[in-house]
Structure 1
Amino acid sequence: MTEFSSLPETKAQTGDLHEAFATMMRALEEFRGENDQRVGAIEKRMSADVLTEEKVERLNRTIDEQQKRMDRLALKEMRPRLAGGETAAAQPSEHRQAFDADMRGGDERGYRQLEEKALSGLVGADGGFTVPPETEREIGRRLATLSPIRAIASVRTVSAAVLKKPYSIAGAQAGWVGETDARPQTTTPTLAELAFPTMELYAMPAATNALLDDSAVDIDQWIGAEVEQSFAAQEGAAFVNGDGVNKPKGFMTAPTVAEAKWAWGSVGTVATGAAGTFGPGAGDALVDLVYTLKAGYRQNAGFVMNRRTQSVIRKMKDANGLYLWQPPATAGGKATLMGFPLVEAEEMPDIAPGAKAVAFGDFARFYLIVDRQGVRVLRDPYSAKPYVLFYTTKRVGGGIQDFDAAKFLVFAG
């Protein structure tokens, strides 16, 4: 059998997404064969062969590596293109032309003219200028691809510093009446308010003067590519574990309570029945988690966990001997667990006693990300000479908007 963990790195370098997908599928097929042998040995001798265990883990890691390769190759297709490759129809806007002149040579005259024409509130040299709408969309598009929670949560763009969202605690009263019956006045619904403040997120890519002088380099797409990793890493951590102090409030920091005692303001949990493990009937805990969620949320629900938890679940089968975890159907797709999409978020906790390592829910209704309109860039040619720094900032907030739309699996008895 082919030892996939020793395959050369050429596939990722050639950019062949479909070849990387085929490699992962072959590795998965071998992994499942070895895992079946491991399970069979455990059933016969109550222990698995050490060599088989090692091979299963090695193939498991190979599958993870191939999945990451596919993600990188898919992202590579979104990389900035040379400005010279644009068609004549794609003429840059006046804002973009002014932005390009400022970023390349520090010429702010175009921005000054825009301020005079539109009184648009461009911040000015001390605080940086807002980027063109094309650049802001480019950064947002890249973040949606890189940031796992942003890809599944609701995203709202606002112009204010705080988004305030009312919700009904008790709901409006209703009832049935006959055609000629009196309609008594209903009780006024009790309303409360959720607030989602936006916090400043920054990155500071550096460029050489040679790069800025090169007219073939598209500056705004270059900035989008440079800040994407920094923004995505910080966002990803904050949306999961952020404490709300100068960063968004992460969903894992919300109060939790056993589902039987659930109330608004906390997230319901389902226990595995064994501390730090799935315990006997491992798939039963996942089934309980899925059906704890109401049907209205379950239609668009998915799992969120880190890769180490996923590697454990990848070995699990149902009562019919079928694997619960299924690979992506196409190159660049997402794996599924029990038929629901699975999103990998590295910031989720590992399996441990009392850990809430698996989340399941309709994240579009569960978590809200708030982007304040406008990304700013301040050109700094002085602080790190001979390099030019581009201090790039955006304001982002986030928090739970529907506490009943997701549940956590807690590894406890």
Structure 2
Amino acid sequence: MADIEDVLETAQREIKAIGDNVAKLKDSMEKDLAVVRKLAEDAPKNVIGSSEFKKDMEAITAGVLEKHDALAKQVKAIEEKALKDAQDRMDQLEKKFNRGRLGGGGDVETELKDARDFTRIGMAARGELKVGVPFNEEKVDVASFDAYKSALPMYLRRDKDGQGVDMKAMSVGSDPEGGYFVTPAMGRMITGVVFETSPMRDICNVETISTDSIEYPRDDDEASAGWVGEQEDRPETGAPKAGMQRIPVHEMYAMPKVSQKLLEDASFDIENYLGRKIGDKFGRVEATGFVSGNGVKKPRGFLTYASGTYVAGSSGKLEQVAAGTGGNVGWDDFINTMTALKEYYLSGANWLMQRATVGKAMLLKDGSGKYIWQPNQQAGKPGILLGYEVRQAADMDAVGASKLPVAFGNFKMGYTIVDRIGMSTLRDPFSAKPFVLFYTRKRVGGDVTNFEAIKILAT
């Protein structure tokens, strides 16, 4: 509202200035015309026809016309300036209005948010996002993003030299490391498929960064505390042993292929097809890394850590609860695994096991012969075991000798997934003719960040 009031106030000032100038020039012109009339009335008839009188009249008339022309030019200049200033201010207001709507609901708001996210992706790739430097909303160019969004499907169908590809628009989303960034909408589609494929992103902590790794202090101990009287000395308490944990991101790629003939079909939704194919492949690859990855060029999986009870001031081991019967799981094993987790972590805890293990758990009965498995009352939601949801993960071990088939814990607190902002794709029509390959890559990492928050059942 304040900006609108400023525009109106500026316009009012300009109008007043025009009015003041017009009034002054009008008064001057009226005085000159009065002089002319006075001279004409007072002059003798024999003088009116003289050449000298004519010269005087022409001079006065010329002066009046000059002031009239000056008035017209001044009015025109003021009008043009007022219109330009008003237009500039309205453009600024429109930009602020659009940016103010970012993050809201509806198609317009989604598009504006996508434009903002897309701008951040490009800046991160070029190293322009700096710590302590606020994101400049003026860099968000919705028109350029719309042009890129319209040009990307054409690029996916044809190579960069193909007819109809607006390479000027495509330059907005050019990845410095090769290829072009996928739009935020396509990125959400890929991530959505990842969620459907693997539960890890749904139950773990997920961080998005613009660098090659995330580093933060990790307290492996707790600061001591105590009671003290109002006037007693405050002795120094023990300090926690803090260390740094670094989680790097690793490059993950997918390269689905599409026939050239299918790409030439106008009704074929190339973005939707690629989004689902890439999301499915990414989901399977990264899920394996989060569960059993060795940390070399891939995330570190939580099943790869050695067995050991957590000790204050140390880390690197996850407690493994031994099953009562080797190579099998029983009712007591689930109880022992659940009770091994501190109460602090129980809120938000989940079971994690593969589908075959879920089947075995569903067949378990208590001492009264009743099944202990409880179906979730909400359609499409996971089943309940001992009051906690059971999530299926195909990468967990099958039940057997010396296996780790079941995990239980608060994965939001225990495991962190790190995404490098942005995904890019490169069209390759040459390597697998008559197919076109789409080399798509993203960078992701993951590691255990709290060794108390996850317990493993070992058979």
Asked if Structure 1 and Structure 2 have the same fold, meaning a TM-score greater than 0.5 normalized by the shorter chain, the answer is yes
Structure-2 residue corresponding to 1:338:
386
Structure-1 residue corresponding to 2:156:
103
Distance 1:400 1:312 in 2: 28
Structure-2 residue corresponding to 1:315:
363
Structure-2 residue corresponding to 1:391:
439
Structure-1 residue corresponding to 2:8:
none
Residues 76-107 of structure 1, C-alpha deviation per residue, up to 9 Å, x if partnerless?
xxxxxxxxxxx899878333223223212224
Equivalent residues, number? 318
Residues 263-298 of structure 1, C-alpha deviation per residue, up to 9 Å, x if partnerless?
5321112222222124xxx31221111111011111
Match of 1:288 among 336, 352, 366: 336
1:332 partner letter: G
Superposed, 1:359-370 pairs within 5 Å as 359-370=407-418
Structure-1 residue corresponding to 2:326:
275
Larger displacement relative to structure 2 (236-245 or 348-357): 348-357
1:356 CA drift (Å): 1.8
1:377 CA drift (Å): 0.2
Superposed, 1:2-151 pairs within 5 Å as 93-107=146-160, 110=166, 112-113=168-169, 115=171, 122-124=174-176, 127-151=178-202
8 A contact 1:262–1:268 mirrored in 2: no
Residues 53-89 of structure 1, C-alpha deviation per residue, up to 9 Å, x if partnerless?
xxxxxxxxxxxxxxxxxxxxxxxxxxxxxxxxxx899
Structure-2 residue corresponding to 1:407:
455
Structure-1 residue corresponding to 2:275:
224
Structure-1 residue corresponding to 2:346:
298
Distance 1:201 1:176 in 2: 52
1:318 CA drift (Å): 1.7
- SS of the residue 1:143 aligns to: helix
8 A contact 1:264–1:404 mirrored in 2: no
Distance 2:362 2:169 in 1: 59
1:123 partner letter: D
Greater length-normalized contact order (CA 8 Å, ≥ 6 residues apart): 1
Match of 2:307 among 256, 280, 296: 256
Structure-2 residue corresponding to 1:179:
230
Larger displacement relative to structure 2 (93-102 or 249-258): 93-102
Match of 1:152 among 175, 187, 203: 203
**Residues 291, 90 of structure 1: alpha-carbon distance in 2 compared, 3 angstrom cutoff:** closer
8 A contact 2:179–2:426 mirrored in 1: yes
**Residues 90, 265 of structure 1: alpha-carbon distance in 2 compared, 3 angstrom cutoff:** closer
Residues 143-181 of structure 1, C-alpha deviation per residue, up to 9 Å, x if partnerless?
112112222111111111111121112233322222233
Distance 2:328 2:261 in 1: 55
Distance 2:215 2:312 in 1: 28
Larger displacement relative to structure 2 (259-268 or 156-165): 259-268
Structure-2 residue corresponding to 1:47:
none
8 A contact 1:289–1:409 mirrored in 2: yes
8 A contact 1:300–1:362 mirrored in 2: yes
1:379 partner letter: R
**Residues 377, 277 of structure 1: alpha-carbon distance in 2 compared, 3 angstrom cutoff:** same
Larger displacement relative to structure 2 (194-203 or 324-333): 324-333
2:425 partner letter: V
Distance 1:262 1:356 in 2: 26
Larger displacement relative to structure 2 (256-265 or 390-399): 256-265
- SS of the residue 1:248 aligns to: coil
8 A contact 2:220–2:314 mirrored in 1: no
Structure-2 residue corresponding to 1:190:
241
**Residues 112, 177 of structure 1: alpha-carbon distance in 2 compared, 3 angstrom cutoff:** farther
Structure-1 residue corresponding to 2:287:
236
Distance 1:133 1:259 in 2: 41
Structure-2 residue corresponding to 1:59:
none
Distance 1:164 1:260 in 2: 23
8 A contact 1:316–1:323 mirrored in 2: yes
Structure-1 residue corresponding to 2:119:
none
8 A contact 1:165–1:194 mirrored in 2: yes
Q: Does 1:378 align with 2:426?
A: yes
- SS of the residue 2:431 aligns to: coil
1:261 CA drift (Å): 11
**Residues 285, 329 of structure 1: alpha-carbon distance in 2 compared, 3 angstrom cutoff:** same
Match of 1:358 among 392, 406, 412: 406
Residues 131-151 of structure 1, C-alpha deviation per residue, up to 9 Å, x if partnerless?
112211221122112112222
Larger Rg: 2
RMSD across aligned C-alpha pairs, in angstroms?
2.7
Higher helix share: 2
Structure-1 residue corresponding to 2:217:
166
Distance 2:294 2:432 in 1: 33
Distance 2:312 2:357 in 1: 27
- SS of the residue 2:389 aligns to: strand
1:353 partner letter: A
Distance 2:249 2:221 in 1: 28
**Residues 201, 111 of structure 1: alpha-carbon distance in 2 compared, 3 angstrom cutoff:** farther
**Residues 342, 293 of structure 1: alpha-carbon distance in 2 compared, 3 angstrom cutoff:** same
Could you state the TM-score of these two structures normalised by the residue count of structure 1? 0.70
Structure-2 residue corresponding to 1:266:
317
Larger displacement relative to structure 2 (322-331 or 254-263): 254-263
1:160 partner letter: T
- SS of the residue 2:321 aligns to: strand
8 A contact 2:416–2:446 mirrored in 1: yes
Unaligned runs of 5+ in 2: 1-106, 112-144
Distance 1:361 1:89 in 2: 37
Structure-1 residue corresponding to 2:137:
none
Distance 1:90 1:184 in 2: 56
Distance 1:260 1:158 in 2: 31
1:375 partner letter: M
- SS of the residue 1:325 aligns to: coil
Unaligned runs of 5+ in 1: 1-86
Distance 1:262 1:240 in 2: 25
